Amino acid sequence: MFPTLFVSHGAPTLALAPGAVGRAWQALGASLPEPEAVLVLSAHWQLSRLRLTSAPQPDTLYDFYGFPEPLYQMHYPAPGAPELAHELAEDLAVEADPERGFDHGVWIPLMHIFPQANVPVLALSLPANPDPRQSYALGQQLRRWRSRLLIIGSGGLTHNLRLFGMADIDAPTFDVTHRFRQWMHQQLLQGHHQNMLDYQRLAPDVAMNHPSNEHLLPLFVCLGASDPQPAQILDLGVQYGMLAMDTVVFS
């Protein structure tokens, strides 16, 4: 069984200046056995009817604007896995999508985790429903695929772009971010999945960290695909005072 990973993919500029986060992802990737394919669920692809990439060579998508021009010249040329995609799509009762490429929530982490781009990659959309239990249920469906797939949820442990422009990358962590992040760490380290599913009621400063929760939904997929036991947290700090960069490994 492969582990399940949740990565906080941060700002797109992480592709240009990976720093300690990129080095940690590279070390993590080097420690993993090679799967048949990687399956990524990105916060940037939500649909009411789920779809799964099935192109033999998906495009690299630049689903952001206003960033340095070199970022738009980057390419992550990992192959798709059409036959596996159709097998998985049939099992999950979702639609195979031969046109969709890899958004930045997919390719930016993977360019560091698997820098050779030699492992096939599939991307599965997230439910458009903000209820974390629907994402958790999807993860439960995916659990039986962990013998073949490395499942990665790509989002952010905290994500409030209203605060993004108020600080530089090395700014001190906002108090609201610190409190929420510490609560999430406690639940993850103790394996309290049910508390996390009820985070909107139990966690502190929820609205200040997730005005909308699409960047947290990939975490709930990972929870559903894993056993209710303590996770390993790679504490990669906080950028811009509010953007937690934690990576979580579920065994």
Per-residue pLDDT tens for 235-245?
999 999 999 99
| DSSP SS3 for 161 | coil
pLDDT of residue 251: 86
| Closest C-alpha among 69, 98, 67 to residue 82 | 98
Q: Which domain holds residue 147?
A: 4-250
Q: Are 247 and 219 in contact (CB under 8 A)?
A: no
| Closest C-alpha among 108, 138, 110, 121 to residue 47 | 138
Per-residue pLDDT tens for 56-98?
999 999 999 989 999 999 999 999 999 999 999 999 999 999 9
Structurally, the chain folds into a number of domains equal to 1
| Closest C-alpha among 108, 106, 114, 112 to residue 55 | 106
pLDDT of residue 166: 60
pLDDT of residue 228: 83
pLDDT of residue 229: 87
Q: Are strands 4-8 and 149-155 parallel, antiparallel or unpaired?
A: parallel
pLDDT of residue 169: 87
Other Cβ atoms within 10 Å of 207 Cβ, number = 11
**CATH (domain of 73):** 3.40.830.10
Q: How many CA atoms lie within 13 A of 152 on its CB side?
A: 29
Low-confidence stretches of the chain (pLDDT < 50) are none
